[in-house]
Structure 1
């Protein structure tokens, strides 16, 4: 049976593996379709798609947009986005500037704590316009402030809510859906079971997002219990939403979900493709 993983991150955003490494690792595990969905970035898609073609693996061009709703994070995935579209590039360039500003603030906080890492070194480690916490963590590791990368992502340092943590710039989920639709993509709600600390996204908000153009929901996710998975399958059926799933992989040494923890049956990918084809027919 063929499987897919439609939620993967690389060094083009906050992952620790390059786009090529992500694709090759997925190939080693037997995946036939994957989607690279870096945070607010399409910088890894060209490399990922190229390697995928060599390995006879389909790489769906994707993205994950970070949004804020009622002071809580909501992530929106976009599949089959036209990643070369100028409107998307312009918006992402703004996000890049906001990310650099965020990194500067976290570095300043760390410096004030006696952790002396240089902004120039963090940008050098990023190696691209995308700079994030993994690059700060690597700079900390280089200078011996931590023993491994995962130690940086704790309350002591740059873990969410940590002493040196700074929130990311975010747009509303409705604006994210609008942006994805404008570049011919399929907007999908990411990991609804991972919302607030002890809560999950309820049907009421999903209904609002559907009214705003949402077309799918990430049902299969490592942190979704069997009960939550069943719940979101029912919600997807009720609102005629596409079903997606993925590991939310961030690299081999990220200390987060592992690649292979979710194997989405290929039938769900075919349904996604059918929707894309239908939208194209409506456009022309």
Structure 2
């Protein structure tokens, strides 16, 4: 069985490795088909494609789009996209707008509770200033000794409702699916097990996503527990979704699952790659 890892991040968004280093790690870890899915950014795809080709590693161009749905941030992965499509390019540019202002507001919130210099501290970890994010703030909190790890930083300072949290108005679900489909891509709901929706809200999300042309959900992902692998396999079959698989790897030592180290998809689901000629 081929090892597909269809969700990972480089330092073009909030990962720690360059696209080239990420490709090399995927290859050395036994990944057979790899996708890099940076947050709201396709600027690293050209480098990733070249690096993967040099390694004889089949590569899937991808992106992860942040949306707001029912008051929460949800991530929609696009796979097999044409990153030159102007609808996608312009849409992603609109999503990236406003990140700096949000980051400055987060810094001000943290300063109020005795953590100064967070904006400048976070910037040290940013590869692309247009994509400064909570993960960069978390790395600063770890470096400064305020937190011991990423989970600690999000739980106490950066997660929804925490003292340093500032909401951002992302794209809509319709925006994300339309942009991905315009670029001939496959739209996937990333790590559904992370979202704090009621059963009724999940039903509404899945139905709306399907009506808009969404095709898949992540079933086996670094954000899910083993029990959730089976649960979301059943969800995929219930709603007629394809099943995707990806580690959501961000960097050595800070990701829940190493690149390429996930178990296979549960039996009985149809993989998102079932008709890909790779």
Aligned pairs for 1:77-92 (under 5 A) are 77-92=77-92
Aligned residue for 2:108? 108
Indicate how the Cα distance of structure 1 residues 121 and 73 shifts in structure 2: closer, same or farther if over 3 A, else same: closer
Q: Deviations over 1:151-192 (max 9, x none)?
A: 762444324432112223322222211111111111112122
Say whether the 8 Å CA contact 2:13–2:127 is kept in structure 1. no
Say whether the 8 Å CA contact 2:186–2:215 is kept in structure 1. yes
Aligned residue for 2:55? 55
Q: How far off is 1:53 after superposition?
A: 0.9
Say whether the 8 Å CA contact 2:135–2:150 is kept in structure 1. no
Aligned residue for 2:15? 15
Q: How far off is 1:269 after superposition?
A: 5.6
Aligned residue for 2:37? 37
Name the SS for the 1:76 alignment partner.
strand
Aligned pairs for 1:1-284 (under 5 A) are 1-117=1-117, 119-120=119-120, 122-123=122-123, 125-128=125-128, 129-141=130-142, 144-146=144-146, 148=148, 150=150, 153-196=153-196, 202-225=202-225, 228-264=228-264, 268=271, 270-273=273-276
* Whole-angstrom distance in 2 between the partners of 1:222 and 1:139: 23
Please report the TM-score for the alignment, with normalisation by the length of structure 1.
0.82
Gaps of 5+ in 2: none
Say whether the 8 Å CA contact 1:16–1:253 is kept in structure 2. no
Say whether the 8 Å CA contact 1:155–1:161 is kept in structure 2. no
* Whole-angstrom distance in 2 between the partners of 1:83 and 1:121: 31
Q: How far off is 1:89 after superposition?
A: 2.1
Q: How many residues matched? A: 273
Q: How far off is 1:149 after superposition?
A: 5.0
Q: Structure 1 residue runs of 4+, over 6 Å off?
A: 197-201
Say whether the 8 Å CA contact 1:34–1:59 is kept in structure 2. yes
* Whole-angstrom distance in 2 between the partners of 1:120 and 1:234: 45
Please report the TM-score for the alignment, with normalisation by the length of structure 2.
0.84
